[in-house]
Amino acid sequence: MSAGKEISIALAGNPNCGKSSLFNALTGAHQKVGNFSGVTVEKHEGYLEYKGYRIRVVDLPGIYSLTPYSPEEIVTREYLIKERPDVVVNVLEGTNLERNLLLTTQLMELEVDFLVALNMIDEVEERGIVVEIKQLQKLLGCHIIPTSAKKSIGLDSLLDHVIRVSRKDIEIRKNKLFFRPEVESSVEKITGMLTHQPELGGYNPRWLAIKLLENDREVYHEVQRYPVWVKVELVLQNALREAERLHDSEPEMLITEDRHAFIRGAIQECVRQPGGIKATVSDYIDMVVLNRVLGLPVFLLVVWAIFQLTFTLGAPLMDGLEFLFGVIASTTASLLPNSMLRSIVIDGIIAGVGGVLVFLPNIVLLFIGLSFLEASGYMARAAFVIDRVMHRFGLHGKSFIPMITGFGCSIPAIMATRTLKSPTDRLVTIMIIPFMSCGAKLPVYVLLTGAFFAPDVAANVMFGIYLLGIAVGLWTAWLLKSTVLKSDSEPFVMELPPYRWPTLTSVLFQARVKALMYVKKAGTLILSAVIIIWAASNYPHSGELERHLSAETIRIAKSTMSPSEKESRKKTLELYIQSEQLEYSLAGRAGKVLEPLIRPLGFDWRIGIALVTGLAAKEVVVSTLGTIYSIGQSDGGPIELKSILRNDPSLTQATALSLMVFVLLYMPCVAAIGVMKKEVGQWPPVLLYSAYSLCTAWVLSFITYRLALLVT
């Protein structure tokens, strides 16, 4: 396919406008996820073939404006200006045009080639809203295509318009949004100064002028590099004085007011609401989920239900994978005559990596549940409900969003704190995010609850562990905000989108992304860790133990015992020697050094090794246990770590509870520590937090173990 038949389009719109659903409907399975260059902001990219064209679609982060306050806004603006997609598709939520059009006015100012996808047109019609599309097109200066990603309405028409715009078959009027005379005069003066500046060729001069009047720091730094800044600064100072004299305000506020005035006029002229305002389904649901008394219990009930479904539906799938890896281990053992190679493959790779991969169904189910809550609109309500609780601990309500993200992974959750304007709120939120149970900790919980608790109790235990993480996080926030980081939290304002039934494609896509990340980690980081752990658990060899094994084997062979009894005695001897060799190995010696520190928590040296290796990634705790506990088991048998742990006399329910609490609370993985340092900007707070989390984990694990011994 020729390069001339390739078209790049960017989807831009507010959060909850259906942009991602439209992206999924257009690109189907041809999608990939990554990060924008140099920024940890998720980037969805896909492609489709349509009428001989290969169309590349980039789903930009959901934003409310192009003012660069958040990483998402910066990324979107930089992409539109520097990457210059052939067509920008501005996705509008048809039922909430007044809010969505603010971004549209800023796209008009950029003067990019853009179309408007009037999304959720089915909901617009159901509510009896009438949109005069032709008149709105005249006002915006672009074509408007009614669409519904959910019902696949208007997709072909949208793509036809994309092709026509890219070929310049459709005239884009690129209407300008004019401001009040005194502001417009300043805009025109600055535009004239910047028009003939070749060094600013990548930017639209009028857009630069508007942004300078809006006190946009990024644009300020760009224009200040050139000699023309001396003249521009005089105009800006005059504009500031004029705005103060005439309106007792600033140019930035006047521009914002004029944008909203244009939007209100467009809505009044082009949109007709139904005569009587009726309560919607969302209104009735909100009467319950936002109720001051019922809101929090409903939220806890919803989260509890997700854990029940995750454990109940995931258990048979996990058992199936355990059986599969057992068959693989048995088959592999018969094909590998070399004992060392057989050990590294079965005891190391299969037991370690396989021990992590068996929890993939639970990971997928959990993320399906969380994606469903987010896409349905309930997560915004949860943030609103939790805000009342969080303010009592000195936290901003917006901190809840990074905390929820932390249930997936701490790294993007820490990045998400950039949306918090208060430095102290941001620092406190960063410090409590690692206490949330990220997806990497879930395999540890599922392993231990499945091994030591009945199925009907396991999900409740796991739910309790998640609640404990939230409780410790809130307590830590209160401690910080009442001592070293005293400050008042900002008021919390958050839009509550209408409830919608999420599309299956969108929910499954999010779950697939997380699952692939999990599998990739198992195939790279965890595999490397497993091999290192295997080597450390097998070397060095004790010559004395090997000589003892050889001498005892000869003695058994010369004895008068029956062949079956000889085989049994030899097997028992081999298992004993392997166990002793494990303690003699490098890993065994390191574990023995740690054992006095963790013995009060109910842990032995083997668990100590797992906790140390878990600093690389929490899933490695399971891999380490799988590798260490598999050494000494019969070669070739089905490897089921739960059964091995359950049958170990040194492990009890009290040990399992203590270990889950410790894994929940102790230091996050090294990658998360690195991101924390990057976001905080210095090491001392991060190191103090690491020491605090270790001490907190030890104390609460000790309390848990002692209480569990009294109860169990």
Q: How confident is the model at residue 482 (pLDDT cuts 50, 70, 90)?
A: confident
Considering the segment(s) 181-272 as one domain, its CATH architecture is Orthogonal Bundle (1.10)
Residue 347 tokens, joined = 């005891």
The predicted structure's pLDDT at residue 516: 78
Peptide bond into 540 cis (omega under 30): yes
- Per residue in 161-214, pLDDT tens? 999 998 888 766 677 888 888 888 999 999 888 887 776 766 788 898 999 998
Give the mean pLDDT of 689-702.
Answer: 95
3-166 and 181-272 have identical folds: no
pTM above 0.85, yes or no: no
Highest mean pLDDT: which range of 40-49, 62-71, 460-469:
460-469
SS3 319: helix
Residue 22 tokens, joined = 């439209």
| Residue with the two structure tokens 């001592």 | 483
- Per residue in 244-295, pLDDT tens? 888 888 898 889 888 988 898 888 889 888 865 566 677 788 888 888 788 8
Percent of the residues in the chain that have a pLDDT greater than 70, as a whole number? 88
First vs last C-alpha separation in the chain: 69
The predicted structure's pLDDT at residue 700: 97
Give the mean pLDDT of 329-350.
Answer: 75
Please check whether residue 425 is in contact with residue 489, taking contact to mean a CB–CB distance below 8 angstroms. Answer: yes
- Per residue in 417-438, pLDDT tens? 866 767 888 889 999 999 998 8
User: Taking phi first (over 0 means left), then psi (-120 to 50 degrees means alpha), and beta for anything else, what does residue 215 get?
Assistant: left
Q: How confident is the model at residue 634 (pLDDT cuts 50, 70, 90)?
A: very low
For the chain, what are the domain ranges?
3-166, 181-272, 295-481
Give the mean pLDDT of 41-52.
Answer: 83
Least confident window among 31-45, 223-237, 304-318: 31-45
Q: How confident is the model at residue 461 (pLDDT cuts 50, 70, 90)?
A: very high
Return the beta strands (E) in 141-262 as ranges. Answer: 144-146
For the cut 90, the answer to whether the pLDDT of residue 217 exceeds it is no
Least confident window among 34-38, 39-43, 219-223, 241-245: 34-38
Least confident window among 25-29, 103-107, 655-659: 25-29
**Fold classified for 3-166:** Rossmann fold (3.40.50)
Give the mean pLDDT of 515-530.
Answer: 71
